[in-house]
Amino acid sequence: MSSFLKHRPSLPLWLGLLSIGVLIGVAGALNVLINGHAQVYNVTREVPWGILIATYVFLVVSSTGLCLLSSLGHVFGIEKFEFIGKRAIILAIITLLCGFGAIGMEINHPIRLAIYAIISPNFTSAIWWMGTLYGLYLVLLCGELYFLMKGMHKGAFAMGMLGFIAAVSAHSNLGAVFGLLEARPFWHGSFLPIYFILSALVSGGAIVSMIVYFNHKQSGTPMPQKYEDFIDTLGRLQTLFLMVLVFFVIWKIIPGIYGHPPEKYEATMAMLTGPLAFNFWFFEVLLGLLIPITLLINPRTRTPMGVMWAGISATVGIFFMRYDLVIGGQLVSMRAGTSDLRDGLLHYVPSVTEFAIVIGAISACLLLYTLAERFLPLDTDEH
Amino acid sequence: MKNKRFAIVLDTNRCIDCKACTVACKTENHVPLGTDNYRNWVGPEPLRGTYPDLGQSFTPSQCQHCSNPPCEHVCPTGATTVTPDGIVHVIEHKCIGCKYCMTACPYDARYYNEEIEAVDKCTFCSQRIYGENGQLPACVETCPTKVRVFGDLNDPNSDVSKLLAKYPSRVLKPAQGTKPNLYYLI
């Protein structure tokens, strides 16, 4: 027993830490409910979307990525991927719900949204479509999980196929929430809807590598060949996703600086040399891209542990990709004469309450998944 | 009866940066205290010339009441809407506070009003212009140098129509395709 414990993080400690994280989030949420958004958030009139929107995007990208990765198995019939089905789908549901929680704390009236999105819909609004498509996606994920748990493969296939379509639609539409804003040159265009689909694959691959590694680690037995083969395949696939993502990042930057396009240039430079530069170079480029690619491209480090570390590194990097994308697009003032500029840019630093809610949302994801792992039969029967 | 097309024509050469328009607006429309809370503003232009021969202009502005308003397109619940007379306004009880309109507006004309619990913006003082006495918007009435002229572009005899017929003018950020209804005389 003692050697068994040595090989895995102590579960009570893990649950305790996550519970504290959730409590921090609850305290943040209560602070908002008691004192009001304006008093406890650092978002402003000119930077109205803060870290909670970035966290929402991060979590729903994760959800989409998990759905896409799991669909490789039970929709597209790549056998190696079938055994991750239930775990990927249940975590997709959890990340989606926690993402909803994060955006629910950012918007002022989530209840009005539920009412007026139905009785007074505006079909030209990408946020209306976002709510509708993600709602549909959630229902399909739940259906897919039901059929997977019951071992009904035809139903799971049908739901998985519909879920795949919903995931890609909802997620590219999330890119369009930003991409349709003509007023924000850093976001505007068809780049973001496409980029979001690719980055979801990277997110999904990274999280699946962690799921498989830690889930196995918990059992305290040597890893079966099947798992090792899967992780090797996943690692290669993830290398492909990451390398394509490198080109997405490069081609996001070049049009942003070439010929100094107004407003786009300033926002791009905010990432390259300005207030977001550390986030960009350290978290996005180093942790998000270079370290994972280095670990994954070398057969000696493409071990289960290496792929897992690449996954953690990429996931941290991806969080900052979301943050920099959301904040970077708002740093250029919409009009001349705004007094409170630093080096010609607006500024935003998340407040303590905003951080608390982010910690709460991410802890809630991990806690719910850990509980699901303990109490639900997630091991797939062979078929 | 033909609908109106309300607009404001501004002669910025007259602006002395006294900010009476902002104060009048805040009072008239119960805009809460706070540096982020305002419906109109006076934007300082960059200094011209070199010392001691310096000059500066000021550009007062507010919601442009665009004929093609991006804020209306993006609002998920139709809380932002346009009256038949062209006034872009927010139906408070429908506003979910997602602030999408604030990111979509190229003029930074909107803010979230914690007191009315909705996004708030210039309404051309609709309570005054449609009121019993048919008053002018507060910013127009209070301006000591008469920078702003308010009126109906669908009426060729209105002051705004006459000014735009007589003088060349520009709008802010025309490339956005928003078709603003605040006109700046050149």
Chain A contact for B48 (CB, 8 A cutoff): no
Task: Say whether B103 and A49 touch across the interface (CB within 8 A).
Answer: yes
* pLDDT mean over A20-47: 95
CATH of B6-185, one of 1.10.3720.10, 3.30.70.20, 3.90.550.10, 2.60.40.10: 3.30.70.20
Name the residue facing B70 among A113, A183, A340 (closest C-beta): A183
| Angle subtended at Cα B134 by Cα B131 and Cα B138, rounded to the nearest 5 degrees | 90
Min distance A40 CA to chain B CA atoms (Å) = 12
Q: What is the pLDDT of residue A11?
A: 83
Identify the three-state secondary structure at position A7: coil
What are the structure tokens assigned to A178, written together? 């930003």
Q: What is the spatial distance between Cα B171 and Cα A342, in angstroms, rounded to a whole number? A: 28
Per the structure block, which two tokens stand in for A129? 């479509």
ω before B156 within 30° of 0 (cis)?
A: no
- Helices of type H across A258-303: 264-272, 277-278, 291-297
pLDDT, one tens digit per residue, over A296-341 is 999 999 999 999 999 999 999 999 999 999 999 999 999 877 767 8
Distance CA A50, CA A154 (A): 42
Cβ within 8 Å, pair B96-A107: yes
CATH of A42-350, one of 1.20.1250.20, 1.10.579.10, 1.20.1630.10, 3.30.465.10: 1.20.1630.10
Interchain CB contact of A118 with B (< 8 Å)? no
Residue A7 pLDDT grade (very low, low, confident, very high; cuts 50, 70, 90): very low
* ipTM (interface predicted TM): 0.92
If you ran DSSP here, which 8-state letter would residue B88 be given?
E
Q: Which residue of B has its CA nearest to A336?
A: B43
Is the pLDDT at A128 greater than 60? The verdict is yes
Residues of B in contact with A124 (CB under 8 A): 73-74
Average pLDDT of chain A, as a whole number: 92
Please state the domain extents for chain B: 6-185
Residue A5 pLDDT: 44
> How far away is chain A from the Cα of B33, in angstroms, using its nearest Cα?
12
Strand partners for B8: B150, B182
> Nearest 5 degrees, angle CA A369-CA A373-CA A375?
115
- Confidence at A373, pLDDT banded by 50, 70, 90: confident
Which pLDDT value is given to residue A380?
Answer: 60
Measured CA to CA, the distance from residue B86 to residue B81 in angstroms comes to 9
Q: Does A273 touch chain B (CB under 8 A)?
A: no
**CA-only gyration radius of chain B, Å:** 17
Confidence of residue A1 (pLDDT cuts 50, 70, 90): very low
Q: What is the pLDDT of residues A332-342, one digit of tens each?
A: 999 877 767 88
pLDDT above 60 for A2? no
Cross-chain CB nearest to B70 (options A49, A182, A338): A182
Residue B29: what pLDDT? 97
Place of tokens 């549901």: A93
CA distance B174 to chain A (A): 12
Q: Where are the domains of chain A?
A: 42-350
**Whether the predicted pLDDT of A354 surpasses 60:** yes
Q: Residue A324 corresponds to which tokens in the numbers above?
A: 């920099």
Q: What is the pLDDT of residues A182-205, one digit of tens each?
A: 999 999 999 999 999 999 999 999
Any B CB within 8 A of A46 CB: yes
DSSP 8-state class, residue A187: T
What is the nearest CA distance from B67 to chain A, expressed in angstroms?
Answer: 16
The stretches in chain B having pLDDT less than 70 are 1
Cβ distance B108 to A334 less than 8 Å, yes or no, reads yes
DSSP chain B: -PPP-EEEEE-GGG-----HHHHHHHHHTTPPSSTT--SEEEEEPPPBS-TTS-B--EEEEE----SS-HHHHH-TTS-EEE-TTS-EEE-GGG-----HHHHH-TT---EEETTTTEEE---S-HHHHTSTT-PPPHHHHH-TT--EEEEETT-TTSHHHHHHHHS-EE-SSGGG----SEEEE-
pLDDT tens-digit series, residues A207-217: 999 999 988 87
pTM: 0.94
Q: What number is the average pLDDT over the span A255-282? A: 96
Cβ atoms of A80 and A236 within 8 Å: the answer is no
Choose among B74, B172, B176: nearest Cβ to A126: B74
Chain A residues with CB-CB distance to B68 below 8 A:
none
Predicted local confidence at residue A382, as pLDDT: 45
Residues 6+ apart with CB under 8 A from B133: none
